[in-house]
Amino acid sequence: MNILRLVSILLVLLTASGCMTMQTQYHVYVDSLSAPAQAERKHFVLLPGNKDTSVTDLQFREYAAYISRALVTRGYVPAESIEKADIAIFVVYGIGNPQEHQYSYSVPTWGQTGVSSSATHGIINTYGGIGTYSGTTTYTPTYGITGSTTDSGTYTTYQRFLVLDALDLPEYRQTKKEVELWKTTITSTGSSGDLRRVFPYMVTASMPHIGTNTGQQVKVILMENDPAVMNLKGQAPANTK
């Protein structure tokens, strides 16, 4: 078999094997601020912070369900009504316009690099005291990378975001002032423009940090079948064995 064809087949097989085992990674950044009084407020209601979005909006209700489950793991309690709540959490979410990026890369070229050995085979004929020789020399070539070519491509990314802004309801009822108790900002950049798909990963990444003061932006990497994400979505983790 031609050596170039063999190399090509091996590369295809290795690529296919990698695709079967490689999981999508979600890179999420969480930045949270909190006030000392936040620990006293635990009974919450979730309210839409997006313009023209109501509490009956199907998308908001789906996203709010994920957030509510995350809050419960942090010790918060869903209030039966806004009158019985002591914390109002405004939920703002969205996705930015697609951003196209260009890149270039080198592709190695394969070819003959030299000769590793040679072998000569021939015949000696003698007649009347005169000898003649005829023979053939066979060379064994060596192959390797002989150079490279430059190619280019493009890829598209999307900026996804979620903001949870918690306000002190008792303070508002008494003074009509909007006092923030805590604010958690979650962002993620990736190739998926489907916020609905990415949203559970963003909420899961924020769970340990909701209502806290992270002091800086925290990076969280989650795999596609992360058990915590599956649990948040109400699904059993996939068997990866």
DSSP per-residue string spanning 106-131 = EEEEEEEEEEEEEEEEEEEEEETTEE
Domains in the chain, ordered, with CATH? 22-100+157-232 (3.30.160), 104-151 (no CATH)
Residue in the structure block whose two tokens are 């912070």: 49
Q: Is pLDDT above 50 for 107?
A: yes
Confidence of residue 22 (pLDDT cuts 50, 70, 90): low
| pLDDT tens column, 118-134 | 666 656 666 666 666 56
Q: How confident is the model at residue 2 (pLDDT cuts 50, 70, 90)?
A: very low
Whether the model pTM is above 0.85: no
Q: Calculate the CA dihedral of residues 86, 90, 91, 93 and round it to 10 degrees.
A: -160
pLDDT cut 90: percent of the chain above it: 59
Check pLDDT > 90 for residue 103: no
Give 50-82 pLDDT, tens digit per residue.
999 999 999 999 999 999 999 999 999 999 999
CA dihedral (187, 190, 196, 200) in degrees, to 10, reads -60
% of the chain residues with pLDDT over 70 = 78
pLDDT above 60 (res 18): no
